[in-house]
Amino acid sequence: MNSKLQTLQGMHDRLPDNMKKRQWVIQRITSVFEKYGFEPMETPAIEYWEILSGKDVYGDEEKLIYKFQDRGRRDVGMRFDFTVPLARVVSSYPDITMPFKRYQIQTVWRCDKPQYGRFREFYQCDVDIVGTESVIAEAELIMVVSEIFEAVGFKKFMTKINSRRLLQTICEYSGVDKSKEFELFRAMDKRDRIGIDGVKENFEVLGLSKETKEKIISSLGQPIAQLEKLLPNKEGIAQVRTLFSHLENLGCNMKHIMFDPWLSRGFDYYTGPIFETIIEGTKVGSVAGGGRYDNLIGKFNDKDIPAVGISIGLERVLMVMDKLDMNPKFASPVKFLVTLFDDPTTKYALQVAKDIRNSGVGVEVYPEAIKIGKQFKYASRKKIPFVVITGPDEFKTHSVAIKDMKSGTQEVIKLAKLNTWLQKKLEIRK
RNA sequence: GUGGGUAUAGCUCAACUCGGUUAGAGCGCUUGCCUGUGGAGCAAGAUGUUGCCGGUUCAAAUCCGGUUACCCACCCCA
Q: Which residue is nearest to nucleotide B30 (CA to C1')?
A: A374
| Closest-approach nucleotide to residue A183, Cα vs C1' | B76
Number of H helices, E strands in chain A: 16, 16
A181-189 and A164-174 helices, crossing angle to 10°: 110
| Closest-approach nucleotide to residue A394, Cα vs C1' | B36
**Residue-range domains of chain A with CATH:** 3-163+258-323 (3.30.930.10), 334-429 (3.40.50.800)
Task: Name A25's Cβ contacts closer than 8 Å, sequence gap at least 6.
Answer: A152, A314, A317, A318, A321
**What pLDDT shows up at residue A308?**
96
Helix (H, G, I), strand (E, B) or coil at A225: helix
> Is residue A392 within 8 Å of residue A341, measured between CB atoms?
yes
The residue among A91, A85, A77 whose CA lies nearest residue A49 is: A77
DSSP A424: H
ipTM over the 0.95 cut-off = no
| Closest-approach nucleotide to residue A381, Cα vs C1' | B38
Helix (H, G, I), strand (E, B) or coil at A357: helix
The residue among A119, A124, A122 whose CA lies nearest residue A9 is: A119
Q: In whole angstroms, what is the distance from residue A305 CA to residue A91 CA? A: 9
> Is residue A100 within 8 Å of residue A131, measured between CB atoms?
yes
Sequential pLDDT tens for chain A (430 residues): 444 577 888 888 888 888 888 999 999 999 999 999 999 999 999 999 999 987 778 877 888 899 888 899 999 999 999 999 999 999 999 999 999 999 999 999 998 888 888 889 999 999 999 999 999 999 999 999 999 999 999 999 999 999 999 998 988 888 888 888 888 888 887 777 777 777 777 777 777 777 888 888 888 888 888 888 888 888 889 999 999 999 999 999 999 999 998 888 888 889 999 999 998 877 777 899 999 999 999 999 888 899 999 999 998 898 888 888 787 877 888 999 999 999 999 999 999 999 999 999 999 999 999 999 999 999 998 889 999 999 999 999 999 999 999 999 999 999 999 999 999 887 765 5
For residue A158, CA distances in Å to A139, A241, A289 come to 15, 18, 11
Q: In whole angstroms, what is the distance from residue A214 CA to residue A29 CA? A: 43
Give the ranges where A54-134 is alpha helix by DSSP (H): 83-92
Looking only at the bridges linking them, the beta strands covering A334-338 and A362-365 are parallel
For residue A310, CA distances in Å to A44, A158, A274 come to 20, 15, 9
**What pLDDT shows up at residue A221?**
81
Q: Report CA(A323)–C1'(B10) in Å, whole number.
A: 23
Nucleotides of chain B touched by protein CB (<7 A): 1-3, 9-10, 30-32, 34, 36-39, 48-49, 51-52, 68-78
Identity of residue A371: K
Q: Which residue is nearest to nucleotide B50 (CA to C1')?
A: A1
Q: In whole angstroms, what is the distance from residue A382 CA to residue A112 CA? A: 37
Q: Report CA(A1)–C1'(B62) in Å, whole number.
A: 21
Q: Which residue is nearest to nucleotide B67 (CA to C1')?
A: A3
Task: Name A226's Cβ contacts closer than 8 Å, sequence gap at least 6.
Answer: none
Task: Name A80's Cβ contacts closer than 8 Å, sequence gap at least 6.
Answer: A52, A58, A61, A64, A65, A108, A109, A110
Q: Report CA(A4)–C1'(B48) in Å, whole number.
A: 18
Looking only at the bridges linking them, the beta strands covering A46-48 and A75-78 are antiparallel
